[in-house]
Structure 1
Amino acid sequence: MPVRELTPTDALAYRLLTSSAFGGSVDPDDPAASAPLSPGQTAVGIDSAALPGGAGGVLAAAARIRHDEISLGGGRVRCGGIAGLAVHPAHRGDGLFAELLAAVLARCDEESLPVSMLYPSTPEIYRRHGYQVVARVETLEVPLVDLQRLRSVPGRRTVPVTAASMPRVRALYEELTAGDNAMLRRQGPLFPDGLPGHGWEAVLLVGADGLDRGYASWTRRRGEGPGLEVHEVLGRDREDLRALLRVIGSWSTVTESVRLRVRTEDPVLDVLPGGGARPAGGTVPLVMMRVVDTAALLTARPAPAGSPARCGSRSRTTRSPQAPAVPRGSSTCTWPTGASAPSRSRRAGRHRRSRRPGRRPPLRASRARERSCSTSTRPRCCSSAAAPSPTPVGWDSAPRPTRPPKRCSTRCWPAPGRACSTRSEPAHPAPPRLTLRPLPRPTATPEHSTPWPSCTSSTER
């Protein structure tokens, strides 16, 4: 089943497919329905006519790849955002989802997008293809009565956000979220200049010195439920967040509660007053991510120049951004002064020799401890001082002499003719061997019919 890149003539077929999968309606006679897709993204799909029983002019499956940038470890990395992935009901169950997603990941690799990210409706089907949940965006329902209790913050004032002040809001977002992971960098053709539209409003918080301190954005909703949906509340410190929440609390004259979107470990959670906030109903939006190119991802994540690091058991130094790139497959580890690094063939040869057919397997740990120091491959712990040879113990000989007074650090007995000298751990003397001597057999007498005493009691005697 061939996967091809969609053209502007496929815009109507793609919008009809996504409206059927995710809800909504599209009027084919509306000129906006046939308008090309937004720039900054790539759309791919599978034609229904290429499948058995398919129809022309219909897409069996399609998806969009957004060319985004996200923050990661203090740096920025390009990201392929998967959006609008849908399969036509007539072609579901034929394996089109897996084939389309594999083509999407291959396209991300071709376009140098080392990370793929999406907001799934069903996480399980994406875990099979390597995606994992990295964050979640929760929505809280906050009663405005709690926000009214917040005290005013001196030295702060709010101004409305217009098209002229929108660059200041974007600059604040870039500054305040630069240290967070997996946050979108709102730049490029997917985020045009000017106000976002669709009822979006915001206020800008300014300090007494004229410095922009933060902002809050929301959308007014109609109908039942919370009448205000708050998108973001960002500030430089707790006082800034408190001042912005107090502004949101001023909506209590027209609505009773608001829906507040918060991130994982959002600082605004430490400022919310009272205990009236509750999780809003509905599904929890998850953020899933998959690494497409590990080398490119690690290259995009900066590290302080000259910072020490470890590579296995050897030390290395982090490469400076001005240093030339290290070719793929080579190592940046440096061996200590005076030591020569073994060749790759020598390092690999040790493993090959241990797995060679017919070769004796290595000793286990328990057997290795029982080996003599003289035959051990570890650093020798015994000196060459001769130890007295033990005297054979006979039937009537003297007790056996004690063991050597020291034992080596490997806790193994020294070989014959050697004595341990590196560890001053006294050995416990062995108990003397008992000397067995035969007792003389008594002569039989009339009083004792047997040579040994009888086993009768004293009363019977």
Structure 2
Amino acid sequence: MPATVLVRELTADDLDAAWDLGRFAFGSDSQRPPQASVEAPGRTRYGAFDDTGRLVGKAVDLHHDQWWSGRAVPAADVAGVAVAPEARGRGVARAMLTALLRGAHERGAAISALYPTVAAPYRACGWETAGVLRTVNLATAALPRHRPAARLAVRAGTPADLPAVAALYERVTRHRNGMLTRRGELFDAPDRGLPGDGLTLVEDDGDLVGYATWRRGLGYGADSVLTVDEALAVTAEAARELVGVLGSWASVAPTLRLCPLDGDAVSAHLPLESAREHERDLWMHRPVDVAHAVGARGWPAHVRGAVDFHLTDPLAEWNTGTWRLAVADGAAELTRVSGEADLRLEVRGFALLYAGAAHARSVAQAGLLHHSPDVDPAALDLLGAGGPAHLLDYF
């Protein structure tokens, strides 16, 4: 039987109980950090309370923006979902996620992503798997070395360089789909220090063209690891320079650990054929408001077309109905139309198509798109015309 719970936004008085619930769920250190008991901007925390007033579930809506083909789309990215063991399997998570979606819709969010510990409960609420954030190990000695380009300068970065680093990150990511903009209250930390232990910069005539942030780790023996939190570049020469600098650690850090970004300049110079997977974090996607999700993002300028479909979304009734998607001149619009449609799409299927994670025929084979035998579902490939989405941030 579903539990009877009250779901509401958490207040400062609830934060200690929320931290304890998360600590038990995720096996965190028992020492509570000071920030755990302080309300933070850029997020909305939800809690589920049983009929005795005990907190039995929590979830956080992170007020992110994501890049979609050059335009920032407001997102409600979900983190910290936990349910007390005595309340699991009773509909608590579904009640919280329903409230979170409604609140996100009211504040203007268009889309949502999350990293699940288990996918089934989120699938039941309309999210679908759309990609994987991979962490791989490479033999540092296998990284290619080359003669440095004369016009490039390599130096250690300082906190004063962080605005330029943020600008380069944006140059790499804004034309992609799904990547966080790293703007807004969650990223506006005053007096930030360097991320990790070090920041390596590559400059071309004074302009930043590549960077790597890294953590040295312990020791210098066979098990020593250099963890590269991020390595991005906007030219092939800068990418080669970065890879060469990282390769210079081979004598004291035999293993290089990083999250490669598919198709970027740095990955093109890494020996990924010899990479060993260290960790993989599945991520899932969902629309919060389908009309806003379509209208807010960028679209390929060469794509043009229209298609009608009926969408079913049990948790977000404002998405349910018959829609016409029209794409032209780098923009798109989703408008309600009357009557039925030959293509009947479930919200998880919409998520797959929007994120470029599957073609319409595959979505139909998965049972998330329904049509009569004489109808070609490929018309809905228009919804995924922007290409596959990626994430480089874990939350």
Q: Indicate whether the TM-score tops 0.5.
A: yes
Find the counterpart in structure 2 of residue 18 from structure 1. Answer: 22
Residue identity in the other structure for 2:196: G
Question: Number of aligned pairs?
Answer: 318
Report whether the alignment pairs 1:231 with 2:235: no
Q: Find the aligned partners of 1:309 and 1:239 in 2 and give their Cα distance.
A: 36
Q: How does 1:38-437 map to 2 (within 5 A)?
A: 38-48=40-50, 50=51, 54=52, 58-147=54-143, 149-191=145-187, 192-195=189-192, 199-207=196-204, 209-222=205-218, 225-273=223-271, 276-280=274-278, 282=279, 284-302=280-298, 309-311=304-306, 318=328, 329=336
Which SS does the other structure have where 2:116 is aligned? coil
Gap regions ≥5 residues in structure 2: 309-325, 342-373, 375-395
Contact kept in structure 2, 1:169 and 1:215, CA below 8 Å? yes
Contact kept in structure 1, 2:7 and 2:48, CA below 8 Å? yes
Higher strand share: 2
How far off its partner does 1:229 sit?
1.1
Q: Find the aligned partners of 2:261 and 2:43 in 1 and give their Cα distance.
A: 26
Which SS does the other structure have where 2:203 is aligned? strand
Which SS does the other structure have where 2:59 is aligned? strand
Contact kept in structure 2, 1:166 and 1:194, CA below 8 Å? no
Q: 1:63/1:149 Cα in 2 relative to 1: closer, same or farther (>3 Å)?
A: same
Residue identity in the other structure for 1:76: A
Contact kept in structure 1, 2:133 and 2:282, CA below 8 Å? yes
Contact kept in structure 1, 2:159 and 2:193, CA below 8 Å? no
Q: Find the aligned partners of 2:330 and 2:114 in 1 and give their Cα distance.
A: 33
Contact kept in structure 2, 1:19 and 1:25, CA below 8 Å? yes
Task: Pick 1 or 2: higher relative contact order, CA cutoff 8 A, min separation 6.
Answer: 2
Residue identity in the other structure for 1:263: L
Identity among equivalent pairs (%): 32
How far off its partner does 1:238 sit?
2.0
CA radius of gyration, larger in: 1
Q: 1:196/1:41 Cα in 2 relative to 1: closer, same or farther (>3 Å)?
A: farther
How far off its partner does 1:267 sit?
3.8
Gap regions ≥5 residues in structure 1: 331-343, 349-364, 366-461
Q: 1:320/1:4 Cα in 2 relative to 1: closer, same or farther (>3 Å)?
A: same
Q: Find the aligned partners of 1:177 and 1:13 in 2 and give their Cα distance.
A: 37
Q: Find the aligned partners of 1:301 and 1:13 in 2 and give their Cα distance.
A: 38
Find the counterpart in structure 1 of residue 377 from structure 2. Answer: none
Residue identity in the other structure for 2:192: L
Find the counterpart in structure 2 of residue 412 from structure 1. Answer: none
How far off its partner does 1:221 sit?
2.3
TM (norm. structure 1) is: 0.62
Stretch of structure 1 that moved more, 153-162 or 85-94 = 153-162
How far off its partner does 1:233 sit?
1.3
Q: Find the aligned partners of 1:230 and 1:318 in 2 and give their Cα distance.
A: 40
Q: 1:34/1:308 Cα in 2 relative to 1: closer, same or farther (>3 Å)?
A: closer
Residue identity in the other structure for 1:309: R
Q: Find the aligned partners of 2:273 and 2:304 in 1 and give their Cα distance.
A: 45
Q: Deviations over 1:154-213 (max 9, x none)?
A: 321122221211111011111111111100011111112543556342111101x22211
Which SS does the other structure have where 2:28 is aligned? coil
How far off its partner does 1:302 sit?
3.5
Q: 1:164/1:308 Cα in 2 relative to 1: closer, same or farther (>3 Å)?
A: closer
Find the counterpart in structure 1 of residue 6 from structure 2. Answer: 2
Contact kept in structure 2, 1:136 and 1:264, CA below 8 Å? no
Q: 1:301/1:274 Cα in 2 relative to 1: closer, same or farther (>3 Å)?
A: closer
Which SS does the other structure have where 1:285 is aligned? strand
Please give the root-mean-square deviation of Cα atoms over the aligned residues, in Å: 3.1
Q: 1:243/1:125 Cα in 2 relative to 1: closer, same or farther (>3 Å)?
A: same
Higher helix share: 2
Which SS does the other structure have where 1:252 is aligned? coil
Contact kept in structure 2, 1:148 and 1:250, CA below 8 Å? no
How far off its partner does 1:33 sit?
5.9
Q: Find the aligned partners of 1:230 and 1:308 in 2 and give their Cα distance.
A: 37
How far off its partner does 1:15 sit?
0.9
